[in-house]
Amino acid sequence: MLRRNYPSFREVVAKGELVRVAGAHDALGGVLAEQAGFNAVWSSSLEVSAARCLPDASVLTMTEYLEAAANMQKALGIPVIADCDTGYGNNLNVAHMVHEYEAAGITAVCMEDKLFPKLNSFAGGDQTLLSTEDFCSKIRVTKQAQRTEEFFVVARTEALINGMGIDVALERAYAYVDAGADAVLIHSKSKTKDEVEEFLERWDGRRPVVIVPTTYPDWHADDIAKAGVSVVIYANQGLRATVSSLRSTFESIQRHGDSTALEESIAPVKEVFGLQQLQAWQALEAV
């Protein structure tokens, strides 16, 4: 068994309460999410790519995404669920992905049913899906490749993103569960929750359902739970807040010629030391 000092994602989901997950791209963002009370952290391919000023279009390699997720997990007392896009290639790549992520202490991965290379769901461009059977094959490989029973695989269908409709989304989700998926993620870019809500009303509850309410942000967590959702991922709000905050901060310094106007609203250096656990590291010198 892999050693860790944090619960597995499976253990968190098994509690039966709505699991709230925050997207991040580095350990600092993950720690801030944990401090805010989130139950898990989403190692977002969009955020990790954006942190490199690169598109979320399978440009980075599995190794680069893995490094980001592993660095987060090492700093956290809550589990990381890794956004692994399409599994980084064919069935062999998927098996390698599972081995590497599990060895790094990641207890959950999410894989989507689009063709490799994939493009971010909210970007204009090709959103063609892999055939249902081919994606089921990938899921079967993930379950065969895992070394611990606790490893958790989320199968994400992009049927609604592709415009295929609720019926196809349900057909695919049921097939993915039958192939061994531990949960399904139903993704939508609709401006309302209606199609996701319909999916939930028709879902038979055989596995947990995960949602990402990026384009329908007004759905309250309490109502999300009542609708039958097990996991809600706020996948990119932290990244977007960072962009706005850094832009405002840097523009203020340039405009005023100093940082005086900002000092009351930005974290003191002492707080940064706290996030770095500086005192604990300094204490090692006295051992």
Tokens representing residue 116 in the block: 């490799």
Q: Where are the beta strands (DSSP E) in the chain?
A: 19-24, 40-43, 80-83, 108-112, 152-157, 183-186, 209-211, 231-234
Which residues does 105 contact at the CB level (< 8 Å), separation at least 6? Answer: 2, 4, 70, 73, 74
- pTM for this prediction: 0.95
- Which residue matches tokens 């997720």? 69
Enumerate domains of the chain plus CATH numbers: 9-244 (3.20.20.60)
Give me the pLDDT at residue 113, please.
Answer: 97
Task: State whether the Cα torsion 235-238-241-246 is positive or negative.
Answer: negative
pLDDT in single tens digits along all 287 residues of the chain: 345 789 999 999 999 999 999 999 999 999 999 999 999 999 999 999 999 999 999 999 999 999 999 999 999 999 999 999 999 999 999 999 999 999 999 999 999 999 998 999 988 777 899 999 999 999 999 999 999 999 999 999 999 999 999 999 999 999 999 999 999 999 999 999 999 999 999 999 999 999 999 999 999 999 999 999 999 999 999 999 999 999 999 999 999 999 999 999 999 999 999 999 999 999 999 88
Residue 56 annotated among the catalytic residues of the structure:
yes
